[in-house]
Amino acid sequence: MPLEGQTFVHDPSTVVKEDGTYYVFSTGRGVLSKSSRDLVHWTNGLSVFGQMPGWSLSAVPGFRGCWAPDVIRLNGQFYLYYAVSTFGKQVSAIGLATNPTLDSSSTNYHWTDRGPVIQSTNGSAFNTIDPSVMSDTDGKLWMAFGSFWKGIYLIQLDPKTGLRAGTNSAPQRLAWNSKIEAACLTRHDEFYYLFVNWGQCCRGTNSTYEVHVGRAKNITGPYLDRDGKDLVDEGGTLFLETTGRFIGPGHIGILTDGGTNWFSYHYYDADTYGRSRLAVGQIHWSDAGWPEVQKIVQAK
């Protein structure tokens, strides 16, 4: 059995699978990691960075930890995206690191810094944190990101390098709410789906996070909720909210494994004085093509 407390995470990444083991990354010094064989019992792993890349220290002076990572497997590599920022500030950056394996016992396990992907500063329309990366069926690679300010944005990435493609093209605005962040971009059948968090995080049992969703025929939008309201105009159908001890759920990532759509997220646990913990759920797709929570698996 794992040690008590090894499911304490904040801002978990999408869960990825390699050789029968699941991995998840989360906010913390140097980007934290955990692994599991069954999506229930999790064990602490190594941090991605022992020492942060020099560019990150110059880009965001005073940051103390890496935020809200996301990870995807492409071209025989794992691309890990993470944010550096300071709370409530707009001077931020999203960086990239790659590794051929997530098995830290492997001889070729090594994280390589690939530098910044996109940055924001005071006066930008967006805040470059909370990356969510998706590889489309045509091989194109996309990243949604954003927190507060003017909302959630989208850029295209180069699938060969993982870095931004067409750096002169303006990011596409996808969603807005006065308190919005933690995007998750995915595709199911003929629609693209954008999950976002509304509300406040990081306040323990006083957190007000909840997850809303919209969908679009094109990855660039417009994303509409069940009532046809555009997410740019504060639209968003409720997907996940506070229930019992699971307070302020958010920051979901979606994994398809064995025909099942799983989603990972954190919640503030009323039974552990509001500590942020990991949970995994299953998605049921309605006949109309909307995601619904089917089952929650309590991580241990």
Radius of gyration, alpha carbons of the chain? 18
- Helix (H), strand (E) at residue 57: helix 54-59
What is the spatial distance between Cα 22 and Cα 15, in angstroms, rounded to a whole number? 6
C-alpha pair distances (Å), 259 with each of 12, 30, 66, 184: 22, 33, 32, 19
What is the spatial distance between Cα 204 and Cα 94, in angstroms, rounded to a whole number? 26
DSSP-derived pairing of the beta strands 112-120 and 152-157: unpaired
Is 11 catalytic? The answer is yes
Both tokens assigned to 43: 């064990």
Is 233 catalytic? The answer is no
List the catalytic residue out of 70, 181, 210, 225: 181
Sheet containing 180-188: order of strands? 180-188, 191-198, 210-216, 237-240
List, as one string, the DSSP characters of 160-190: TTSSBS-TTSPPEEEE--TTEEEEEEEEETT
List the catalytic residue out of 11, 210, 230, 269: 11
Phi, psi of 92 (to 5 degrees): -145, 165
Both tokens assigned to 268: 């503030």
Q: What single letter denotes the amino acid at residue 222?
A: P
C-alpha pair distances (Å), 292 with each of 12, 62, 66, 160: 20, 40, 31, 34
CB neighbour class for 20 (10 Å; exposed up to 12, middle 13-18, buried from 19): exposed
What positions carry a catalytic annotation?
11, 181
